[in-house]
Amino acid sequence: MGSRARRRECEHGATAVEFALVMLPVLMLVFGLIQYGLYFWAMQGGSDIARSAARLAAVGKPADCAAFRADIRSQVNDLTGSGSTATVTRSYVRTKPPAVSIGDTVTVQVSFKSVDLHFPFVPFIKDGTVTAKAKARVDFVPAPPETCG
């Protein structure tokens, strides 16, 4: 019985050491899942914003670049808070140059930074940059729209 008591005394701190060794990788895994979940959420939101922007461009709202970019950046800002640094481009493939007409194709590309929680030792995809692109057929041309490069 005396040897059993001595064995328990010797292993008294083993549980704390094992917990510390196991907890570090588990915490890294949990924080990585959170970080990548936020990134994929931003990717899904970015593709939704790009589709919405392409649809707006297809019906001619708004025709000038500054108002178009401001509208899209406000949507990105609502999603991730990085709308002020978002890059928005709009281009048209014209079937009858020089003016945009019904039946042409509009392409919108939106690029922005995802939410980065800056967890140490957790790498981030493409430095957190989300890029989404969408195309739509031009259905209505109220005024000649600008290409936003």
Q: How many CB atoms lie within 10 A of CB 34?
A: 14
For residue 120, what pLDDT band results from cuts at 50, 70 and 90? Answer: confident
Vertex 47, ends 44 and 48: CA angle to 5°?
85
Which pLDDT band, with edges at 50, 70 and 90, does 90 fall under? Answer: very high
- The yes-or-no verdict on residue 106 having pLDDT over 70 is yes
Residue 52 within a domain? yes
Asked if the structure places residue 55 within a domain, the reply is yes
Total number of domains in the chain: 1
Predicted confidence (pLDDT) at residue 118 exceeds the cutoff of 90: no
pTM of the model: 0.81
For residue 143, tell me if it sits in a domain.
Answer: no
* DSSP type of residue 120: T
Helix (H/G/I), strand (E/B), else coil: 110: strand
Domain that holds residue 94: 2-137
Average pLDDT over residues 60-87: 91
CA 46 vs CA 74, 77, 99, 124: distances in Å: 12, 11, 29, 17
Query: Is 7 inside any structural domain?
Result: yes
Asked whether residue 6 carries a pLDDT value surpassing 70, the answer given is no
Q: How far is CA 74 from the centre of its chain?
A: 14
Is residue 142, in this structure, part of any structural domain at all? Answer: no
End-to-end CA distance of the chain: 82
Q: For residue 113, is it within any domain?
A: yes
pLDDT band at 9 (very low <50, low <70, confident <90, very high): low
Q: What is the mean predicted confidence (pLDDT) over 5-21?
A: 75
Which band of pLDDT confidence, cut at 50, 70 and 90, is reported for residue 8?
Answer: low
pLDDT at 124: 84
51 pLDDT tier (thresholds 50, 70, 90): very high
Three-class secondary structure of residue 149 per DSSP: coil
